[in-house]
Amino acid sequence: MKSLDRFGKWVRKNSYRRGIICHFYISESERPRKPSKKLKQKQYYSKTDYAFFNLFSPSKEWIVKGTIHHGVTDKWGDQCRVPCLNCFEVDEAKFLDALEQLRTEGNPKFEVGLLLNKRKLRTHFGYDEVCDVDDVKKVGYGVLPNKECWKYDIPSQRVKVLRPFHLCDVVRVRIRKSPIIRLPVHAIPIEVVMGLLVRRKDYRAMLDMPKVAKFGLEVFPVL
């Protein structure tokens, strides 16, 4: 069975009443031509270093870091300062089509996709901390307080930085600052992690990673 077909079958089997979302880790070896574009990419995706830090760790947690400047500007024209983990809803209609497009066009940057159980995330963080991002037109652009801006997007602008996942539904997890280190870093129980999307060339090596081998995470070579 083709890797993408196997992944699609797994999604159909496991998404019911759970919901699956994916956060991507990307390589910076492909430098964007414009510095401004590079900065935008960093807010949506984590660097691959963070994924491998977690994969080599045998702990029962996966550590994530939130970043700011997601969503829309507030009523004063300032960018959102709420740290978030940016994710995509994993479904057949949009997400699998985006993966197919990624493979067809070539993949210069996506290295690892972290598959998370949306229902368990909401249990862990609280329902209001895991938000299905909506179109800002529903509330009106330029009227929101800064603390609410992470919940909205301008869909037409996603293509600039999210291609080929710009048509996917976006889900954001608010990552509050740790009271100890004062950084938006949080440990997620390994039970929330459902699996990984990886490059075909990395598949065999990923199966031997300490966290994959110890906890039996599903690994799909579809990037």
pLDDT, one tens digit per residue, over 95-145 is: 999 999 999 999 989 999 999 999 999 999 999 999 999 999 989 888 999
Q: Which residues pair with 49 in a beta bridge?
A: none
CA distance 97 to 126: 30
Other C-beta atoms lying within 10 Å of the C-beta of residue 32:
14
Contacts of 46 (CB under 8 A, 6+ apart): 23, 24, 25, 26, 64, 65
pLDDT, one tens digit per residue, over 39-85 is: 444 578 999 999 999 999 989 999 999 999 999 999 999 999 999 99
The per-residue pLDDT for 33 is 47
The per-residue pLDDT for 209 is 94
pLDDT, one tens digit per residue, over 21-36 is: 999 999 875 554 454 4
Label residues 165-177 b or e (16+ Cβ within 10 Å = b): bbbbbbbbbbbee
Contact criterion met (CB below 8 Å) for 96 and 223: no
pLDDT, one tens digit per residue, over 164-200 is: 999 999 999 999 998 888 899 999 999 999 999 999 9
Cα-to-chain-centroid distance, residue 152:
16
The per-residue pLDDT for 17 is 79
Q: Cis bond leading into 58, ω under 30°?
A: no
Contacts of 103 (CB under 8 A, 6+ apart): 4, 222, 223
How many domains does the chain fold into? 1
Stated pTM of the model: 0.91
Q: Which domain holds residue 188?
A: 3-221
